[in-house]
């Protein structure tokens, strides 16, 4: 007879399998599926999601959690068994709060809104999108209201944040992103005032796709992701999916006229995959197997993309092969030119194309607007105006139309509020990790310059990846860096790099410390 | 409030989605998955299969079938609603017969046996495979015994056949395959006695894979499968999968030294896909959406592969493009040479490489041995000897080792007994369909010669595909060809082609009429 803990593990294993199967259907839809398959694919995905959810809110799961909780009471907090029960209980309690009809309505409405968004963006027609946006906000308010009195939630926006960044409160996120914004604005101003421009023309021109593919695969294998445990495909909007920790699907959008996507976007997605692959075997099929905080997940993709991938030693390591594969564009480029091109900082309209510094202003703007909407300070009809004003204020850019402004991202159309801030949070966490790593991994730069990433990967695995989803993000921060979220290291690192490239003075850090 | 028929449709829709999702996981496993994903993929597939099965045997499904049965009592037999209830009832009644533990044990044992088979074949070591085969047979006996008294089942082997060819009885299958065997043996003997050989060297040599892929895709588009509703990938063992009737996945094994796989194996799989794509929209997600008789399914793949794909007009249609794409091997080949090469008849050891005539002897042999095993006339330990003796008797071939003999196919390792005969049954049905088609579609040969397959496809769609799984195979035969299974047309067509190629006299048909 199986113990209740074993029965709990079995049921959670099924829930995991259903989620992973759904991830495969989604990956396939975006990379392989013949277009005519879309309608039935939607039904298949919905069925898997519904069945998974039925199990997640089942009385049976609640009963097993209680029984297994009693079984594991005396085990250490960080033991696998106690952690599985703890994480499963939080999932169950959150899932049970939301009535099935509301959940179904959210799914239905956000699907409609996303389709409406596609058209609205194509026509730069915010008015056509507005009623859908209104409905999404209204439903998300009702969703948040389900969590009245839930442990740790105080602000109305907390439940929305929590779905992406468990345990993060709205005031905390406001403080972090505010400090980041205030730390970076002077840097961006200083770069602008300096009048120096960086020539990144070596990254543009003709780069045959098939060669880019070869190069991108070499690059991932080099990091290294485990051989035989990943693949790389083309798609429209790059993402990484873990069909299991040993079956990682990286995607990118190869651009025949720009080599950057095949380098930094690929490293970014490989960073996500490295995180998923670092979860120990004994946690697979459990709720601990997938790191659930988007901030931590993004910290890994950003760390590999920006701290490793845009660093001088790494680019020196890549350069010979880049020259060999793309002789026309890069045959004579030197390391300094490549390094400068990879780290160009220049305000631009579109978030997904933004550089590593101004990117965070795009995020700050979105999060501020989200909060103002949910706080009732901003009318949805006034959103484009507010957006454009803040783009002018933060990046000194005029927004020519809503397609390049408020309509550029899918998130609000898909009903995802509280998602954006995790992108910048990932940067901040990566900055803290990097400080720690450089002090603990000997010869880090030299090793990266030799293409030896084992020390770095092992540090991440040992200190972060092996925990999977065992801890809440705040607990994890304490364990990994020995303190809470801190914006300073990230801002300081960006200033350091800007100083190198743009000759901006390094002083004045005090103005952005909290 | 949904009627019980609507509730039934909803539940059956979920069952369909789970089956289709599982099909995608299987397709992905064989064509896309990184190898390290295998272990977790097995869990994912097992979970989807288990959840689907739970729904299929649920009391709830039984209750809805009864209630919807009352609702649809007065509807015509062939109406969608009455047919859904009828087919679902048969599924439910069959599935409920088998205890969960036996089903689990069959899954577990056949998985072990399949792995053992891989090794046994590699080492040509039947003794190592024997205990697994014994276990598979024993479990299949227990499975068959679950159907004691089931409507229409008399012979012990009937339940096994029924899983692949519903309603087909063992004596009927014995008669059909026996008649086919006795009809073809004199033909094969006559060809052998004639001493004529066919030169198919034009099909062998160097055929660049990437060009083969281009050609194969053109060929499928030409048939035509609906644009945007299919894809073609490489795999080890070719198959076709319908992720939905609008999402068809064809696979083939491209051979750099043989163009035949890229032609006839691709046409074969496309024939399966054309069948799945011909099911009308209103039956999708119902139990009527996937033709469930393997014999009928195979009739479609064989009809396109052999009756169309190896016909002279079709090959004349292909020839200019073949010459253009493969100038080294086919640049100067003429239609007659190509036609003869495509229709070479020569006994060989391996079923999947056999020509269209001797193929059926491979099947007869397997089915006879299966029956002798289940009837207790043949000891499993004596199986290799029996196999080899019959290869000598039917095809005058000496089997050098068990890897090229009794161990060549996966089916028995996978626990599938009763599957083989449907391959030949498909040929027989295709022969009957072809007789009917040539009398009803005007200018068929000329149109095929012009690459115009619309008349043929529409005839198949109207007379066969649109019914989906509405009727039992015997009912379907009556509707489509106006009579029962009949071996004569197929044998006569093969004799006709053999007469053209090998100059074998056309008389003597009486000796194989039943």
Express each pLDDT in B294-306 by its tens digit.
999 999 999 999 9
Q: Which two tokens stand for residue A81?
A: 């068994």
Distance between A246 CA and the closest CA of chain B, angstroms? 5
Minimal Cβ distance to A231: which of B32, B40, B41: B32
Minimal Cβ distance to B43: which of A40, A51, A285: A285
Contact, A412 vs A133, CB < 8 A? yes
Catalytic residue among A269, A276, A298, A370: A269
Strand-pairing partners, residue B250, are B232, B240
Contact, B290 vs B468, CB < 8 A? yes
Residue B1: predicted pLDDT: 65
CB contact under 8 A, A41 and B284: no
CB neighbour list of residue B441: distance below 8 Å, 6 or more residues apart? B447, B455, B456, B459
- Which letter, b or e, does each residue of B482-493 get, where b requires 16 or more Cβ atoms within 10 Å of its Cβ? eeebbbbbbbbb
Residue A511: predicted pLDDT: 43
Q: Which two tokens stand for residue A332?
A: 């004579």
Sorting pLDDT into bands at 50, 70 and 90, what band is A509?
very low
CB contact under 8 A, A36 and B243: no
Which residues of chain A from 242 to 271 reach within 8 Å of chain B, CB to CB? 243-248
**C-alpha dist (Å) from residue A96 to A14, A60, A198, A417:** 18, 12, 53, 21
Whether A221 has its CB under 8 Å from any CB of chain B: the answer is no
Whether B174 has its CB under 8 Å from any CB of chain A: the answer is no
Contacts of B43 in chain A (CB under 8 A): 13, 17, 285
Whether B317 has its CB under 8 Å from any CB of chain A: the answer is no
Contacts of A21 in chain B (CB under 8 A): 21, 25, 44, 47-48
Minimal Cβ distance to A18: which of B47, B226, B248: B47
CB neighbour list of residue B281: distance below 8 Å, 6 or more residues apart? B245
Query: What span, in angstroms and rounded, lies between the C-alpha atoms of B172 and A191?
Result: 86
Q: Three-state SS for A267?
A: helix
Q: Please give the radius of gyration of chain B, using alpha carbons only, rounded to the nearest integer.
A: 23
Query: What span, in angstroms and rounded, lies between the C-alpha atoms of A226 and A465?
Result: 15
CB contact under 8 A, B228 and A25: no
Residue B509: predicted pLDDT: 47
Whether A17 has its CB under 8 Å from any CB of chain B: the answer is yes
CB contact under 8 A, A33 and B230: no
Contact, B187 vs B509, CB < 8 A? no
**Burial class (CB within 10 angstroms; exposed 0-12, middle 13-18, buried 19+) of B125:** middle
Contacts of B41 in chain A (CB under 8 A): 243-244, 247
CB contact under 8 A, A21 and B243: no
Query: What span, in angstroms and rounded, lies between the C-alpha atoms of A33 and B230?
Result: 8
CB contact under 8 A, B34 and A230: yes
CB contact under 8 A, A17 and B285: no
CA atoms within 13 A on the CB side of A277: 25
Express each pLDDT in A317-371 by its tens digit.
999 999 999 999 999 999 999 999 999 999 999 999 999 999 999 999 999 999 9
CB contact under 8 A, B37 and A284: no
- What is the residue-averaged pLDDT of chain A? 95
**C-alpha dist (Å) from residue A481 to A29, A307, A435, A485, B277:** 39, 17, 9, 9, 57
Whether A372 has its CB under 8 Å from any CB of chain B: the answer is no
Q: What is the DSSP string of A433-473?
A: HHHHHHHHSTTHHHHHHTT--HHHHHHHHHHTGGGTTSS-H
Closest chain B residue to the Cα of A42, Cα to Cα = B17
Minimal Cβ distance to A37: which of B21, B41, B244: B244
Pairing of strands A230-234, A247-252: parallel
Q: Tell me how long chain B is.
A: 514
Residue A1: predicted pLDDT: 65
Whether A20 has its CB under 8 Å from any CB of chain B: the answer is yes
Give the phi and the psi of residue B181 in degrees, each rounded to 5. -55, -50
Query: What span, in angstroms and rounded, lies between the C-alpha atoms of A307 and A456?
Result: 11
Query: What span, in angstroms and rounded, lies between the C-alpha atoms of A37 and A290?
Result: 29
Whether B40 has its CB under 8 Å from any CB of chain A: the answer is yes
| Three state DSSP letters for A36-98 | HHHHHHHHHHHHHHHHHHHHHCCHHHHHHHHHHHHHHCCCCCCCHHHHHHHHHHHHHHHHHHC
Q: What is the DSSP string of A339-388?
A: HHHHT-----S-GGG--TTTHHHHHHHHHHHHHHHHHTSS-GGGHHHHHH
Strand-pairing partners, residue A241, are A249
Q: Which two tokens stand for residue A4?
A: 């209740």
Query: Which residue's structure tokens are 């205990």?
Result: B131
Q: Please give the radius of gyration of chain A, using alpha carbons only, rounded to the nearest integer.
A: 23
Q: Which two tokens stand for residue A145?
A: 């209201």
Contact, A484 vs A474, CB < 8 A? yes
Sorting pLDDT into bands at 50, 70 and 90, what band is A506?
confident
Mean pLDDT over A11-38 rounds to: 96
Query: What span, in angstroms and rounded, lies between the C-alpha atoms of A376 and A383?
Result: 12
CB neighbour list of residue B191: distance below 8 Å, 6 or more residues apart? B345, B357, B498, B502, B504
Q: Check pLDDT > 80 for residue A512.
A: no
Express each pLDDT in B137-152 by its tens digit.
999 999 999 999 999 9
List of long-range contacts for B108-111, beta carbons under 8 Å, 24+ apart:
B109/B135, B109/B136, B109/B139, B109/B415, B110/B136, B110/B139, B110/B413, B110/B414, B110/B415, B111/B42
Contacts of A17 in chain B (CB under 8 A): 43-44, 46-48
Query: What span, in angstroms and rounded, lies between the C-alpha atoms of A383 and A365?
Result: 11
Whether B284 has its CB under 8 Å from any CB of chain A: the answer is yes
Whether B21 has its CB under 8 Å from any CB of chain A: the answer is yes
Active-site residue set of B: 269
CB contact under 8 A, A17 and B43: yes
CA atoms within 13 A on the CB side of A251: 18
Q: Which two tokens stand for residue B48?
A: 């989807």
Minimal Cβ distance to B247: which of A40, A244, A285: A40
- Which letter, b or e, does each residue of A132-160 get, where b requires 16 or more Cβ atoms within 10 Å of its Cβ? bbebbbebbeebbeebeebeebebbbbbb
Distance between A23 CA and the closest CA of chain B, angstroms? 11
Closest chain B residue to the Cα of A11, Cα to Cα = B47
Q: What angle do CA A57, A60, A66 make, to 5 degrees?
A: 95
Give the phi and the psi of residue A252 in degrees, each rounded to 5. -150, 170
Whether B28 has its CB under 8 Å from any CB of chain A: the answer is yes
Query: What span, in angstroms and rounded, lies between the C-alpha atoms of A263 and B301?
Result: 45
Residue A513: predicted pLDDT: 34
Q: How many CB pairs under 8 A join A and B?
A: 121
Query: Which residue's structure tokens are 């079709």?
Result: B314
CB contact under 8 A, B35 and A285: no
Cα distance from N-terminal residue to C-terminal residue, chain A = 57
Low-confidence residues of chain B: pLDDT under 70: 1, 507-514
Express each pLDDT in A149-160 by its tens digit.
999 999 999 999
- Which letter, b or e, does each residue of A49-66 get, where b requires 16 or more Cβ atoms within 10 Å of its Cβ? bbbbbebbbbeebeebbe
């Amino acid at each position: 007879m199986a113990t209740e803990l074993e029965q709990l593990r079995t049921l959670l294993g099924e829930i995991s399998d259903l989620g992973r199967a759904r991830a495969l259907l989604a990956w396939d839809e975006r990379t392989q599926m013949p277009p005519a398959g879309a309608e039935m694919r939607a039904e298949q995905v919905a069925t898997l999601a519904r069945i998974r959810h039925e199990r997640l809110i089942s009385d049976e799961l609640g009963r097993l959690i209680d029984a297994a909780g009693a079984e594991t009471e005396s085990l250490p907090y960080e033991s696998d068994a106690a952690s599985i029960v703890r994480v499963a209980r939080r999932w169950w309690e959150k899932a049970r709060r939301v009535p099935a009809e509301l959940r179904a309505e959210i799914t239905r409405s956000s699907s409609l809104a996303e389709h409406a968004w596609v058209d609205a963006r194509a026509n730069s027609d915010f008015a056509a999108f507005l009623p859908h946006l209104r409905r999404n906000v209204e439903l998300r308010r009702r969703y948040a209201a389900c969590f009245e009195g839930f442990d740790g939630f105080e602000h109305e926006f907390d439940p929305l944040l929590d779905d992406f960044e468990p345990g993060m409160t709205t005031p905390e996120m406001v403080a972090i992103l505010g400090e980041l914004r205030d730390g970076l604005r002077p840097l961006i101003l200083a770069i602008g005032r300096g009048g120096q421009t960086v020539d990144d023309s070596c990254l543009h021109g003709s780069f045959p796709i098939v060669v880019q593919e070869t190069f991108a695969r070499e690059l991932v294998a080099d990091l290294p992701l485990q051989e035989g445990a990943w693949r790389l495909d083309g798609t429209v909007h790059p993402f990484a999916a873990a069909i299991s920790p040993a079956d990682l699907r990286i995607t990118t959008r190869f651009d025949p006229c720009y080599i950057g996507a095949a380098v930094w976007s690929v490293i970014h997605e490989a960073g996500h995959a490295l995180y998923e692959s670092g979860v120990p075997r004994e946690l697979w099929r459990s709720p601990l197997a997938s790191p659930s905080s988007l901030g931590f997940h993004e910290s890994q993709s950003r760390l590999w993309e920006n701290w490793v991938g845009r660093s001088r030693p790494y680019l020196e390591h890549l350069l010979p092969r880049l020259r060999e594969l793309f002789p026309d564009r890069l045959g004579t480029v030197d390391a300094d030119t490549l390094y400068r091109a990879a780290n160009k900082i220049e305000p631009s309209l579109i978030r997904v194309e933004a550089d590593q510094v101004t990117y965070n202003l795009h995020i700050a703007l979105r999060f501020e607007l989200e909060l103002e909407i949910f706080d009732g300070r901003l009318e949805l009809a006034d959103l484009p105006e507010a957006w454009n004003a803040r783009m002018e204020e933060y990046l000194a850019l005029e927004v020519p139309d809503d397609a390049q402004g408020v309509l550029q991202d899918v998130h609000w159309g898909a009903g995802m509020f509280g998602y954006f801030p995790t992108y910048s949070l990932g940067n901040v966490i990566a900055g803290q990790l990097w400080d720690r790593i450089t002090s603990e991994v000997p010869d880090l730069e030299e090793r990266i310059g030799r293409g030896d990433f084992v020390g770095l990967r092992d540090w991440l695995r040992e200190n972060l990846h092996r925990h999977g989803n065992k801890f809440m993000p705040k607990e994890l921060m304490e364990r990994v860096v020995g303190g809470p979220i801190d914006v300073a290291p990230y801002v300081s690192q960006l200033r350091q790099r800007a100083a190198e490239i743009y000759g901006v003075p390094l002083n004045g850090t005090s103005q952005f410390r909290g």
